[in-house]
Amino acid sequence: MPKISIISRLADFISPRQCPICGGRLCVMEEDLCAVCNYHLPRTGHYENPTDNEMARLFYGKIPIERCAALAFYESRSQANNLIYKLKYYGSPDVGETLGRLLAEELERCGFFENVDVIVPLPLARVRERQRGYNQSEKIARGIRSMTRLPIECKAVRRLSFSESQTHLEFRERMENVEGAFELVDARSLTGKHVLIVDDVVTTGATVTACARQILRAGDVKISVASVAFTRN
């Protein structure tokens, strides 16, 4: 059992931390979620086979993928669903970093980040970022960086258009919706590198595919994908 310093105990007493899912007080040995919520998180288990899982197969024949994994399944009324709603629609950027740390902790089990050179958060359209106040994928990337020390590159690719919601669209419609949505603006920062694209939720993979195709134009690039949640089709 790890030792807890007196300073940590005192800090936890003065400023109690809350579980972002249930709102309960975290004990000094709990990191980001309480033990109960952490146990009930609907994990995908993708870390067990990051080269061949149901999310990775979304990209087969579309873009070359080194590794691909999500932390949890995106299910109605699930803990992952509630956290992502807080992050995207309730002005809670700190939740993004929490989710990034949880994702990194899960994926480090399989050496997922080995040989990865840089993280590229999926870009958000400027109008949407102004509305929200931040890019949720960048917040998730910051949580991953805190665990892995990998650099984040936010300016190499930009999103040109603010397309309609993808929520109720099929794959073909989603691809049409994001066609021409991204532009590679700094190829030199990505050329010859293993790039980890980070997103909040992957459903059909259309948005990630569109972004990855622009990144691949930099030349000699390897692509991996990590997301907090994955929607089973």
**pLDDT value of residue 23:** 84
Using the predicted structure, report yes or no on whether residue 171 has a pLDDT greater than 70: no
**pLDDT value of residue 80:** 73
84-136, pLDDT tens digit by residue? 888 998 889 999 999 999 999 999 999 999 999 999 999 999 898 999 999 99
Q: Could you write out the DSSP letters of every residue in the chain?
A: -----HHHHHHHHHS--B-TTT-PBPPTT--SS-HHHHHHS-B--GGG-TTSSTTGGGGTTTS--S-EEEEEE--TT-HHHHHHHHHHHS--HHHHHHHHHHHHHHHGGGTTTTT--EEEEPP--HHHHHHHSS-HHHHHHHHHHHHH---B--SSEEE---PPP-TT--HHHHHHHHTT-EEE--GGGTTT-EEEEEEEEESSSHHHHHHHHHHHTTSS-EEEEEEEEE---
Confidence of residue 195 (pLDDT cuts 50, 70, 90): very high
- Residue 229: name the closest of 88, 43, 76 by CA: 43
Domains parsed from the chain with CATH numbers: 1-40 (no CATH), 41-230 (3.40.50)
Residue with tokens 């990337």: 141
- Residue 141: name the closest of 128, 132, 131, 151 by CA: 151
Q: What phi-psi label fits residue 143: left (phi over 0), alpha (psi between -120 and 50 degrees) or beta?
A: alpha
Confidence of residue 4 (pLDDT cuts 50, 70, 90): very low
32 vs 202: which has the higher pLDDT: 202
**pLDDT value of residue 162:** 60
Residue with tokens 């080995």: 114
Mean pLDDT of 9-35: 76
**pLDDT value of residue 90:** 86
The mean pLDDT value of the chain amounts to 88
Using the predicted structure, report yes or no on whether residue 2 has a pLDDT greater than 60: no
Determine which of 151-160, 178-187, 189-198, 215-224 has the lowest per-residue pLDDT on average: 178-187
Q: What phi-psi label fits residue 191: left (phi over 0), alpha (psi between -120 and 50 degrees) or beta?
A: beta
Using the predicted structure, report yes or no on whether residue 223 has a pLDDT greater than 70: yes
